[in-house]
Structure 1
């Protein structure tokens, strides 16, 4: 099992992004290319920090509860897309300087390195011999979704199916201040 801390987009954000992806794929069948596997929308998230594999979640949960309680929820939006390490992702950006500071505080509290952090939502993955989905990435380049403020930060275990058909199990939710 892998352990990570994440923020969840609202249903309005997921719905808007899904509708955009559907429009693009309907207008340009095959744009995604063969071999591109989209993740379930119920698992779309913004990772703040990875905590490792086969890590005891209890001490991590205690630390996150202590460090994240009372932190501010940043106003975020999805704007554009990119790829790295065989992943197609949607860029997540803070709405203003205050939101950027709030996101940096959350990344730090989660144990991430803000200097190396690229907020994103993983949409799909590919494996060779599939090619990088350059056309789909370009089609999403100008996308700007609705803004949202995450209600909580979550500590999540992932692996094989762990709960009701999902690969994810929430270990802890820490409410964020709005």
Structure 2
């Protein structure tokens, strides 16, 4: 399989979802597909860490898990030590969910907030994405807080997602009409 062709095609077909400079540097394994759209994990992680001041830079990971035959987004993020005692987890979860919904139209299935230094790392000091995914699936984190969407929220979130997608389509159509004029 020619990965370069896949990347070039993704750049042409999904320029609004995939930052071109990030995609050239991303390996295929760091691209996740949620609801039929491809997303670079690095851009998701960047959005998450900027969503709230309590979140440590370069100390988060995004990956997908299969839930009811659908790929769902999971975010695992370390919290700065200075916030560990005064952390308002509801505020942080809401900030992360809102940022990803507004920026990429993404619904999060789960958020895990960890203490500083808790993310598993490889020998090269990079975050071990697969170890994070295994820890999530096995519920083996020593987490500050774990949030998972419930079915009722899922239905409400689906309506929000549909509305956000409709707005994006309307905006795209308006931009296309403006370019034609």
- Which structure has the greater CA radius of gyration? 2
Larger helix percent: 2
Q: Which has the higher strand share?
A: 1
| Structure of greater relative contact order (alpha carbons < 8 Å, 6+ residues apart) | 1
Structure-1-length-normalised TM-score:
0.28
Normalised by the length of structure 2, the TM-score is 0.28
